[in-house]
Amino acid sequence: MYQTSKFILLCLMLVVSLLQLGTATAGESAGGININNGQTIFNEGKGDAAACQGCHGEKALGNDAMGAPRLANIGQAYIIKQLTEFAADKRTPAGAGAAMNGFAKALNEQDRRDLAGFLNTLDYEIDPSDLKGLATDGNKVGDPKLGKIIVTQGVKGKVPACQDCHGFNARDPRFPAINQQKFVYLVNQLNSWRDDSRANDPMVANVGIMRGIAKKLSDDDIVNIAAFLSTAPRISPEGEIMPALKKN
Ligand code: HEC
Ligand code: HEC
C-alpha cells in the first residue's frame, strides 16, 4: 500500500514537472510574459481587480491579520493555476479571500501570466509569522518542533512527509512553496481541504491529493505544521541554515 502511494506520488511529480516545462521561466519575456504589466497590476490593480499589494503586502510576503498568503516565489505555474481557478469559481475562499474570485475574473489570461512572472522575479525574502503575537491575540499556535517531524518525516502509515512533494524544507519549484508561507493562511488551507471547502487539488486515483492528506491531520497537527512552516529558516539539504536568497 505504501509502495503504491509512493509510485503514484512519483508519477504525479513527473506530470507536474512536465506541465511546468511548458511555462516560461522567471524574468523571461520571450515566453510572452510582460513583467512590467504584472508589477503594475500588483501595485495599482486593474479595473475591478484591487491592487494586490493592499492585502498581500508591498513585497508580496503575505499578511496574517488578513489571512492573505505570501505570493512571492511560491511558484509561477501554481499562481497561474490558482488565478485561473478563482476566475472559474473552482476555488471559492471564505472571509477576505472571497474577493479573489471577482478580482481574478477582472484579469485576462495574459495578466495572470504576467502577475505570476512578476511574483517569481522578486527577491527571496524571509518574513516569519509572529507566533507570539498571534498567541497573544488568542490564536492556538502549536509547536514548531512537532510540526517539523510531520513536514520532514510524516507519520508512518498515515501521513506522507510533506517534503516528499513540496521539496526539502517544503520548498520545491514543481509544487507550491509552503515554507515561509503565513501561519493563518496555512491553517485556513489545511482546514479547508479537510472539510472539502477547498477542492481544487489534483486528483490521484479519485482522491484529491491535499484533501486526502488533510483528512488524516488533527487540529493539533495543523497548528504544529503551520507553526513550523511559517517560521522555519531556509535549510539546505545538508541541514545548513541558508541566508535569504535573491530569486530561486
Ligand atoms: C482584499 C484583499 C486581497 C486583495 C486586494 C487581493 N487578494 Fe489575493 N488573496 C487574499 C486572501 C485573503 C487570500 C487567501 C484565500 C484563501 O484563504 O483561500 C488570497 C489568495 C490569493 C492567491 C492564492 C495563493 C495561494 O497560495 O494559493 C493568489 C494567487 C492571489 N490571492 C493573488 C492576488 C492577486 C494577483 C491580486 C491582485 C490582482 C490579489 N490577490 C488581490 C486577499 C486579497
Ligand atoms: C503527494 C504530493 C503531496 C504531498 C505529500 C503533500 N502535498 Fe501539499 N500540495 C500538493 C499539491 C499538488 C498542491 C497544489 C494544490 C493545487 O493545485 O491547488 C499542494 C498544495 C499545498 C498547500 C497550498 C499552498 C498554497 O499556497 O495554497 C499547502 C498549504 C500544502 N500543500 C500543505 C501540505 C502539507 C502540510 C503536507 C504534509 C502534511 C503536504 N502538503 C503534503 C501535493 C502534496
23-33: burial string, b at 16+ Cβ within 10 Å, e else: bbebeeeeeeb
pLDDT bucket at 5, cuts 50 / 70 / 90: low
Cell 491579520 sits at which residue? 65
Nearest residue CA, atom 11 of ligand 1? 97
The alpha carbon of 159 and the centre of ligand 1 are apart by a number of angstroms equal to: 28
Mean pLDDT computed over 59-81: 95
Phi then psi for residue 151, to 5 deg, are -65, -40
Distances (CA, A) of 96 to 11, 44, 144, 154: 35, 19, 27, 31
Q: Are 66 and 56 in contact (CB under 8 A)?
A: no
Nearest residue CA, atom 27 of ligand 2? 189
Atom of ligand 1 lying closest to residue 42 CA: 37
The alpha carbon of 228 and the centre of ligand 1 are apart by a number of angstroms equal to: 22
Please work out whether the CB of residue 102 comes within 6 Å of at least one atom of ligand 1: no
Return the higher-pLDDT residue of 175 and 82.
82
Cell 489545511 sits at which residue? 190
The alpha carbon of 100 and the centre of ligand 1 are apart by a number of angstroms equal to: 6
Nearest residue CA, atom 38 of ligand 1? 52
Nearest residue CA, atom 37 of ligand 2? 162
Q: Are 196 and 133 in contact (CB under 8 A)?
A: no
Kindly report the number of other CB atoms within 10 A of residue 139's CB atom: 17
Q: Which residues contact 208 (CB under 8 A, 6 or more apart)?
A: 193, 199, 201, 202
First-residue to last-residue Cα distance in the chain: 35
Residue-wise pLDDT tens digits, 151-198:
999 999 999 999 888 876 655 567 898 988 999 999 999 999 999 999
pLDDT bucket at 244, cuts 50 / 70 / 90: low
pLDDT of residue 171: 59
Please work out whether the CB of residue 77 comes within 6 Å of at least one atom of ligand 1: no
Please state, rounded to an integer, the average pLDDT across all residues of the chain. Answer: 86
pLDDT bucket at 77, cuts 50 / 70 / 90: very high
Atom of ligand 2 lying closest to residue 151 CA: 37
Amino acid at 169: N
CA 196 to chain centre: 17
In 3D space, the residue among 43, 57, 65, 35 whose CA is nearest the CA of residue 247 turns out to be: 35
Nearest residue CA, atom 26 of ligand 1? 69
